[in-house]
Amino acid sequence: MTKKVLFILMPENYRDEEFYEPLNILKAKNHQIDVAGFQEGVATGSGGYRYTVHLILDTLTNEDFDKYDALIIPGGPGSTKYLWNNEKIQEVIKYFHENKKVVCAICYAVIAIVQSGILENKKATVYPTDESKNIFKENNVTFVPDGCVTLENEKIITAQGPAFAKDFGNTIVELLGK
């Protein structure tokens, strides 16, 4: 069954493969994809991958979000600037979670899920730096050193980083199929 998926893409310094690997895997399974950005135009990854976003995040409403089955947030070095401590991103994550939709993030983007509060007293993974692990501790999230962590009942998927981008994409497809 075809699902509708929303990616949120930073305007710059996302990890290319953390975006295009899950994107291509989902497209190959015929899922409908929309990509929202922080601004109009081309988003550029840290490795030079370029993608023109379809939607602007700030213009989307809860009624727009109701059309989607999943939210996916790629990470990368731009996460600390664009995703961490971003109240709009946290609100979107909470809305998807409260409405029983799949919420996924990889690498440093996982911190946005942590900061939304939906992972409190749960297990997850993130790109394992001292800073990210400290943020997990501060928010009562248990760090698991696995490539991908799926909380099936919660419909949350977290992944460590670019080495796990394909696993992340395949895990998303698997959870969407349940």
**Domain boundaries in the chain?**
4-176
What is the token pair recorded at 64? 């727009």
Q: Residue range 47-71: average pLDDT?
A: 97
Measured between alpha carbons, how far is residue 170 from residues 45, 132, 174 in Å? 21, 24, 6
Q: How far apart are CA 125 and CA 159, in angstroms?
A: 6
Q: Residue range 56-82: average pLDDT?
A: 98
Spell out the alpha helix ranges (H) of the chain.
16-28, 62-65, 79-82, 87-98, 110-116, 130-138, 165-176
* Residue 37: CA count within 13 A, CB half-sphere: 19
Residue 21 pLDDT: 98
Residue 46 pLDDT: 97
pTM: 0.98
Q: Residue range 154-173: average pLDDT?
A: 98
Give tens-digit pLDDT for 87-108.
Answer: 999 999 999 999 999 999 999 9
Question: Residue 1: is its pLDDT beyond 90?
Answer: no
What is the token pair recorded at 147? 């490539």
| Second CATH level (architecture) for the domain 4-176 | 3-Layer(aba) Sandwich (3.40)
Residue 10 pLDDT: 97
Give tens-digit pLDDT for 10-43.
Answer: 999 999 999 999 999 999 999 999 999 999 999 9
Q: Tokens 């698997």 correspond to what residue?
A: 174
In order, the DSSP letters of 88-110 are HHHHHHHHHHHTT-EEEEEGGGH
Amino acid sitting at position 18? E
| Percentage of residues in the chain having pLDDT higher than 70 | 100
Give tens-digit pLDDT for 118-146.
Answer: 999 999 999 999 999 999 999 999 999 99
